[in-house]
Amino acid sequence: MSRGSASGRAASLDDADPLGRFRSRFVTVDDVVAYLDGNSLGRPLAVTPARLARFAETAWGGRLIRGWDEGWMEEPERVGDELGRIVLGAGPGQVVVGDSTSILLYKAVRAAVALDPSRTEVVLSAGDFPTDRFVLQGVAAELGLTLVAIDAPPDGGVDPEHVAAAVGPRTAAVVLSHVAYRSASITDVEAVTAVAHAAGAAVVWDLSHSVGALPIRLDGWGVDLAVGCSYKYLNGGPGAPAFLYARRDLIPRLRQPIQGWMGADQPFAMGERYVPDAGIRRFLSGTPSIVAMQPLRDMLEVIDEAGVDAIRAKSERLTAFAVELVDDLLEPFGARLASPRDVGLRGSHVTVDHPAFPTMLPALHRRGVVPDFRRPDGLRLGLSPLSTSFAEVEAGVLAIRDELQVAR
């Protein structure tokens, strides 16, 4: 299967794609016909290799320690502000970049539950990504909190009414994902935040599976805290730094327990006692990787140029096309759509379940088709709006069809 054999339909969708010109901005590789895992690891931009080399040669190698006084010290907030402006709907001074999503989630949850120590419950989704549940299990164990798990329908988002039924005067925090990692179901952040706030609870949102692909309005939605990763639709590279948002008026009341010097008020005062930075830097601990932030900077510029609304529009067209192909080509073999049918409830990936999928990845890789596998029997087709073509979607689903034929 190659792009040359794309149907007229895929080709005409690509021809009509107003964002099609962005595809050439990314590194591509000959042995991958359809990369459908940009939601696990986005492709590098074509400028990224040279950007990294230049950074090492002229910034690190050329400025040496002086680089810290010439901008690196502020890089976590500067890149954070850009994230806020371009993809998070957040005004400046509320986003910081560093650590990993798990670490920042730990800090965010610890800060959230400390706001009112008389509240002893944390609400989460039983279907959330493992790290979210694991981190919460750890926090609950050390602080003696009770976890209240909402059973979201496997293919659906977390319903505000389910949250309303779970929260109460004992709820310290509600911790949920904007887009579900397996089904791509969207949870209504604004509505759930309002429900939590009505019960006097704080919210912590994990945006890992939405940021860069869906419009986000953290300030407008009244969110308290949020975290997310930058290696999916933000194309930051394997293990790229995460980000944390905290609402401006809340920051002075938020304390996190890992008191490193980079989060201190005056790191180089070498003072006797830790005093947290007055602003969002209080969520930093150690020295963040400046090298690892470089790819993200370029990608944010590209997203800014394309515009998040246009990106979301293409994402909807991509997943709608994928669902159509799944219905036409895979459903006859017994495959089942495990993502919402309503495009408005669906993030930027499409998951399909079939008993033959657990062993299918090697064969698909040999065909140059790279989706993701998610237990127990799902293939997850991640459609990264700026780098994925309709032809790739078609090539991918056709290859899956061919393998189902072989498996039959």
Contacting range for its own copies; rule: CB under 8 A; set: 4-12, 164-172, 195-203, 235-243: 235-243
Name the β-bridge partners of 370.
35
Contacting range for its own copies; rule: CB under 8 A; set: 78-86, 123-131, 307-315, 325-333: 123-131
- Selection from 321, 408, 404 nearest residue 364 by Cα: 404
- Selection from 320, 302, 398, 401 nearest residue 33 by Cα: 398
Interface pick for its own copies out of 6, 184, 213, 240 (rule CB under 8 A): 240
Q: In the numeric block, which tokens belong to residue 195?
A: 């429900």
Q: Shortest Cβ distance from residue 325 to its own copies (Å)? A: 21
Q: Terminus-to-terminus CA distance in the chain, angstroms?
A: 20
Measured between alpha carbons, how far is residue 367 from residues 32, 299, 359, 400 in Å?
8, 29, 14, 10
Contact between 333 and its own copies by CB under 8 A: the answer reads no
Specify the residue, 7 or 102, whose C-beta has the smaller distance to its own copies: 102
43 is catalytic: no
Specify the residue, 160 or 295, whose C-beta has the smaller distance to its own copies: 295
Q: Shortest Cβ distance from residue 61 to its own copies (Å)? A: 3
Specify the residue, 7 or 287, whose C-beta has the smaller distance to its own copies: 287
Specify the residue, 273 or 408, whose C-beta has the smaller distance to its own copies: 273
Interface pick for its own copies out of 22, 205, 221, 231 (rule CB under 8 A): 231
Contact between 71 and its own copies by CB under 8 A: the answer reads no
What's the CA gap between 91 and 141, in Å, rounded?
Answer: 35
Look at residue 389 and give its three-state secondary structure.
Answer: coil
Q: Shortest Cβ distance from residue 105 to its own copies (Å)? A: 8
Interface pick for its own copies out of 79, 203, 370, 400 (rule CB under 8 A): 370
Specify the residue, 7 or 100, whose C-beta has the smaller distance to its own copies: 100
Interface pick for its own copies out of 268, 344, 405, 408 (rule CB under 8 A): 268
Contacts (CB under 8 A) with its own copies, residues 273-302: 273-274, 285-292, 295
333 is catalytic: no
Residue type, 229: C
**Helix H segments across 158-217?**
160-166, 189-198
Interface pick for its own copies out of 156, 157, 212, 237 (rule CB under 8 A): 237
**Helix H segments across 144-202?**
160-166, 189-198
Interface pick for its own copies out of 154, 259, 329, 363 (rule CB under 8 A): 259
What's the CA gap between 392 and 407, in Å, rounded?
Answer: 22
Contact between 129 and its own copies by CB under 8 A: the answer reads yes
DSSP 47: T
CB contact at 8 A, 396 and 381: yes
Contacts of 130 (CB under 8 A, 6+ apart): none
DSSP 190: H
Contact between 242 and its own copies by CB under 8 A: the answer reads yes
In the block, residue with structure tokens 């990845």: 361
Contact between 102 and its own copies by CB under 8 A: the answer reads yes
In the block, residue with structure tokens 């998610």: 374
Contacts (CB under 8 A) with its own copies, residues 26-55: 27-29, 32, 35, 37, 40-41, 43-44, 48-50, 52-55
Contacting range for its own copies; rule: CB under 8 A; set: 101-109, 153-161, 191-199, 309-317: 101-109
Q: What is the 3-state secondary structure (H, E, C) of 301-322?
A: HHHHHHCHHHHHHHHHHHHHHH
Look at residue 160 and give its three-state secondary structure.
Answer: helix
Pairing of strands 171-177, 336-337: unpaired
206 is catalytic: yes
Contact between 234 and its own copies by CB under 8 A: the answer reads no
Specify the residue, 21 or 66, whose C-beta has the smaller distance to its own copies: 66
Contact between 193 and its own copies by CB under 8 A: the answer reads no
Q: Which residues are catalytic?
A: 129, 206, 231-232, 380
